[in-house]
Amino acid sequence: MERKNTQAILALEAQGQIDFTMVSRTLLYDALTYNMQDKESKNYKILPVVSLVLFHGEGKWTAASSLMERMDIPENLKGIPNDWKMKIVDIKDLDYHLLGNEDNRNVVKAVRKIWKDQSDNLKGFFVTKAVARVIAVLTGKEEILDQIKGDEGTVAMWSFWQDIEDLGFQKGKMETLKMMLTNLFGKLTPELTLKIELSNKEKLNNLTLHISDIHSEADVYKILE
């Protein structure tokens, strides 16, 4: 990072889950970067290190953001240990209008709408396939990546997100069915497990409707045909 002859080292960590160890890890990253400068620098001065944690998960960051918050010590001793505070930037709180790059604006805009339960506002919102892939990763929906073919063209965010939610619902239903059948049979064969995992939504719905009629693995195969 450089501005008017002022240089700094910018370190960015993307974090999708709330992690109470993040503050000590940031301290370690910064210390290692300063130590690297001590070993490589030929003069007294070193560059400032600016570490930012970009939180792109659901909800608010509720874990500690300073070392002192993690210490259970008497109030009168809190000023004695060296403290360390990390800088957290919540992607959902960013003003995407201030971003100069259109792709970056679309990423922040989509993540904000998705996590703040405004997915209805995704209607009429189109992004490039590269941006759609980034959004899928930032929202923890990597399973949808295989459905984005090629690099050309755009993705309609409304239908894209509906596909993600349908896929998540189908995956949950699949796991529930496997658990129910495991309780019924004791153990599922690898072949039957694969058959269930390769079944589409309609077949899984049909299997759910007839779950009380199943008495053997043969019954399952018959329903899934």
Whether the per-residue pLDDT at 3 is higher than 70: the answer is no
Q: How many residues does the chain have?
A: 225
Q: Which residues contact 111 (CB under 8 A, 6 or more apart)?
A: 56, 91, 92, 135, 138, 139
Whether the per-residue pLDDT at 219 is higher than 90: the answer is no
Least confident residue range of 16-20, 80-84, 204-208: 204-208
**CA distances in angstroms from 160 to 47, 134, 135, 147, listed in the order given:** 43, 13, 10, 10
Pairing of strands 126-128, 9-15: unpaired
Can you give the pLDDT at residue 170?
66
Q: What mean pLDDT comes out for the span 148-166? A: 77
Can you give the pLDDT at residue 165?
66
Can you give the pLDDT at residue 118?
63
Least confident residue range of 99-108, 117-126, 163-172: 163-172
Q: Mean of the per-residue pLDDT values for the chain?
A: 84
As given in the structure block, the two tokens for residue 220 are 């399952």
Least confident residue range of 34-38, 104-108, 118-122: 118-122
Whether the per-residue pLDDT at 158 is higher than 80: the answer is no
pLDDT per residue as tens digits for the range 175-213: 788 888 888 888 888 888 888 877 777 787 788 888 888
Q: What percentage of the chain exceeds 70 in pLDDT?
A: 93
Handedness of CA 106, 111, 117, 123 (dihedral sign): positive
Whether the per-residue pLDDT at 159 is higher than 70: the answer is yes
pLDDT per residue as tens digits for the range 32-59: 999 999 888 777 888 899 999 999 988 8
CA distance 161 to 147: 12
Name the residue with tokens 């792709």: 103
Can you give the pLDDT at residue 51?
92
Which pTM value belongs to this model? 0.64
